[in-house]
Structure 1
Amino acid sequence: MNLNALSDFILVATNEGLGKASRASGISKATLSRRIADLEEQLGVRLIERSSRGLKLTEAGTTLMLRTEGLLSEVSEAMTAVGDGVSTPRGRLRVAAPALFSQLAMGRIGAEFCAAYPEIEIEIVAEDRMVDLIEEQFDVAIRINPSPDSNLVGRCFARDRLVVVAAPQIIRPIPGAIRAIPAIVTSGFQPRNWTLDGGKLVLEPIPKLRFSSLLMVRDAAIAGGGAALIPQSIAWNQLARGDLVQWGIASGPEPTLWVLHTSRRLAAPKVRAFVDFLCARYPHMSLVLNG
């Protein structure tokens, strides 16, 4: 496939017409039209419908643009880096990150990253759902305990732990039989016991308050609303001040945070720079030490 023809097709599609594309690029309208026609003939499908009202992408044209626009941008970045003899991170970087981590850390991380790499423009989107990096044109996704995915590669950059906390005035149950306790939980809470410190203490949480945000769960615990199972990283300041008391560490796998990007795209300098920057920011792999 002729990459120049594909690049010209993207140029015309994004500018919504031959005239605007010609003025933006300096390439004549006749040349752009011929290259797109050659690309259509090679693919065997119409990419653009031509009429007196202008140009409109066909379904095949829309699919081709969505699938290739980001790829061509990264190929261009890579070729520029090779031509310059350097790999300077530059361009727009889109990052999807969990809402809680975004609220607690990504503002500072984004600002510090841009200060370190002034040729990068960064957009961080707080998303708890599983975004599709290719379809939604994200360069990087931060995920908690991600499932194996052959399309994604990346690195674990930090770990957390789940702890049960409560206000100081609430008496910690004595280990022994399963202890029922008033609990503050998230909206999606599923009934199950909280096993702490390898089974030394087992609690049966009886939900009294439900919140959609773990920050609200933490604040309700500070106010004495009950015990709560939350990440230690959002409570360590309150624990250090004595606003909360830790009853124990939850048994089971620790939450891990991964920075991921698709393995089917070139690892652009901006992506490599962000991955390295994020990992360097958590040298001890602990969210608590880098709150």
Structure 2
Amino acid sequence: MDLNALADFALVATHGGLGKASRASGKSKATLSRRIADLEEELGVRLIERGARGLKLTEAGQMLMTRTEGPMHEVAEAMTAAREGLAAPRGRLRIAAPSLFSHLAMGHICAQFCAAYPEVTIELVAEDRMVDLVEEQFDVAIRINPSPDTSLVGRCFAKDRLVVVAAPSVPMPKPRARAKGEATSVPAIVFSNFEPTHWTLDEGRLVIQPIPRLRLSSFLMIRDAAVTGAGAALLPQSIAWNQLTRGELVQWGTVSGVETALWVLHTSRRLPPPKVRAFVDFICDQYPEASLVLKG
């Protein structure tokens, strides 16, 4: 099979017509049409129906497109990699990352990465929604506890724990024998959408029933309100680390059975660009013990 003909078929199918494919590639419409006709002749089936409203893939054309799109990308990337060899990371690196992690850490990380790789420019978008890397043209996404996705690969670079903290002025409940499921009520600062629940700490050593006094919409506001003494708060340990170190907050315990993992992900192509490989290695190196304790 002529790979050029297959590539031109994919080009026309992707752009939805000969004219758009011609403008995008610089190839003439006659050349593209001839290549597709040759491919149809070789396979013995129609791949594209040509109508008054443009082109439409036949069932065979759709099947061919679905089965060959990924391998064709890999062939193109393999040829690029072979031409460039071990090329230095360069070009624009587009990253999507959760808002809170972006505000706390990504400014420093991105600046340090650009200093290490001066031919790379970074565009970071702080987004809490699940972006589509391919459709929205992101090179890398950072996600919290991501669900399995066969189209993405990556590495877990840091983990965090949920802890209950309060200012030293807020009395810490003393663990004592209680009936199963019974909790100690304490004034608390919670998220705006908080639903009644218990905080089970240190494998059941202490069970707390938070009584909301403040309902706030971000971890940073909750942390600052806790420092002021408004009540107990449930926070990622990394967000409260500096305040715990300075004695502005006291850790009452760790929530049992809950762990937050941050992953750096990219599309599952076998040949990621040098800039993507370099960034994945770089951000993992920032957390050598895989502990998400953000200092400073």
Band of TM-score, shorter chain: 0.7 to 0.9
Instruction: Using the TM superposition, give the Cα deviation of residue 152 of structure 1 relative to its aligned residue in structure 2, in angstroms.
Output: 2.6
Instruction: State whether residues 98 and 128 of structure 1, in contact with CA within 8 Å, keep that contact through their aligned partners in structure 2.
Output: yes
Larger Rg over CA atoms: 2
Cα distance change of structure 1 residues 171 and 273 upon mapping to structure 2, 3 Å threshold? same
Counterpart for residue 171 of structure 2: 171
Instruction: State whether residues 242 and 295 of structure 2, in contact with CA within 8 Å, keep that contact through their aligned partners in structure 1.
Output: no
Find out whether 1:208 has 2:213 as its counterpart. yes
Cα distance change of structure 1 residues 261 and 48 upon mapping to structure 2, 3 Å threshold? farther
Instruction: Using the TM superposition, give the Cα deviation of residue 80 of structure 1 relative to its aligned residue in structure 2, in angstroms.
Output: 3.1
Q: Distance in 2 between matches of 1:124 and 1:10?
A: 30
Question: For residue 236 of structure 1, what is the amino acid of its counterpart?
Answer: W
Q: Provide Cα deviations, 1:192-251, integer angstroms capped at 9, x if missing partner.
A: 211122222111011222222111111111222211000111111112222222222221
Question: For residue 159 of structure 1, what is the amino acid of its counterpart?
Answer: K
Instruction: Using the TM superposition, give the Cα deviation of residue 77 of structure 1 relative to its aligned residue in structure 2, in angstroms.
Output: 5.2
Within a 5 Å distance, the mapping from 1:136-147 to structure 2 comes to: 136-147=136-147
Q: TM-score, normalised on structure 1?
A: 0.77
Q: Provide Cα deviations, 1:52-109, integer angstroms capped at 9, x if missing partner.
A: xxxx89799xxx99xx999978765543332233243233332221111111111221
Q: Which of residues 269, 272, 278 in structure 1 aligns to 2:277?
A: 272
Counterpart for residue 149 of structure 1: 149
Cα distance change of structure 1 residues 19 and 271 upon mapping to structure 2, 3 Å threshold? closer
Instruction: Using the TM superposition, give the Cα deviation of residue 143 of structure 1 relative to its aligned residue in structure 2, in angstroms.
Output: 1.6
Counterpart for residue 224 of structure 1: 229
Q: Distance in 2 between matches of 1:48 and 1:211?
A: 58
Within a 5 Å distance, the mapping from 1:37-56 to structure 2 comes to: 44=46
Cα distance change of structure 1 residues 92 and 193 upon mapping to structure 2, 3 Å threshold? same
**Secondary structure, in 3 states, of the residue corresponding to 2:257?**
coil
Within a 5 Å distance, the mapping from 1:222-261 to structure 2 comes to: 222-261=227-266
Instruction: Using the TM superposition, give the Cα deviation of residue 282 of structure 1 relative to its aligned residue in structure 2, in angstroms.
Output: 0.7
Instruction: Using the TM superposition, give the Cα deviation of residue 277 of structure 1 relative to its aligned residue in structure 2, in angstroms.
Output: 0.8
Cα distance change of structure 1 residues 185 and 278 upon mapping to structure 2, 3 Å threshold? same
**Secondary structure, in 3 states, of the residue corresponding to 2:293?**
coil
Counterpart for residue 61 of structure 2: none
Q: Distance in 2 between matches of 1:214 and 1:39?
A: 58
Q: Which of residues 196, 199, 204 in structure 2 aligns to 1:194?
A: 199
Instruction: Using the TM superposition, give the Cα deviation of residue 155 of structure 1 relative to its aligned residue in structure 2, in angstroms.
Output: 1.2
Q: Distance in 2 between matches of 1:47 and 1:157?
A: 49
Counterpart for residue 79 of structure 1: 79
Structure 2: gaps of 5 or more residues: 59-63
**Secondary structure, in 3 states, of the residue corresponding to 2:284?**
helix
Counterpart for residue 160 of structure 1: 160
Q: Distance in 2 between matches of 1:47 and 1:194?
A: 62
**Please, which moves more after superposition, 171-180 or 272-281?**
171-180
Q: Distance in 2 between matches of 1:131 and 1:73?
A: 21
Q: Distance in 2 between matches of 1:189 and 1:2?
A: 60
Cα distance change of structure 1 residues 156 and 171 upon mapping to structure 2, 3 Å threshold? same
Q: TM-score, normalised on structure 2?
A: 0.76
Q: Distance in 2 between matches of 1:258 and 1:188?
A: 26
Instruction: State whether residues 185 and 211 of structure 2, in contact with CA within 8 Å, keep that contact through their aligned partners in structure 1.
Output: yes
Instruction: State whether residues 96 and 131 of structure 2, in contact with CA within 8 Å, keep that contact through their aligned partners in structure 1.
Output: yes
**Secondary structure, in 3 states, of the residue corresponding to 1:174?**
coil
Cα distance change of structure 1 residues 122 and 208 upon mapping to structure 2, 3 Å threshold? same
Instruction: State whether residues 78 and 268 of structure 1, in contact with CA within 8 Å, keep that contact through their aligned partners in structure 2.
Output: no
Question: For residue 149 of structure 2, what is the amino acid of its counterpart?
Answer: D
Instruction: State whether residues 47 and 57 of structure 2, in contact with CA within 8 Å, keep that contact through their aligned partners in structure 1.
Output: no
Cα distance change of structure 1 residues 212 and 13 upon mapping to structure 2, 3 Å threshold? same
Q: Distance in 1 between matches of 2:93 and 2:228?
A: 40
Counterpart for residue 185 of structure 1: 190
Instruction: Using the TM superposition, give the Cα deviation of residue 34 of structure 1 relative to its aligned residue in structure 2, in angstroms.
Output: 5.4
Instruction: Using the TM superposition, give the Cα deviation of residue 189 of structure 1 relative to its aligned residue in structure 2, in angstroms.
Output: 2.5
Q: Provide Cα deviations, 1:16-39, integer angstroms capped at 9, x if missing partner.
A: 8588657xx5x5675467557778
Question: For residue 246 of structure 1, what is the amino acid of its counterpart?
Answer: Q
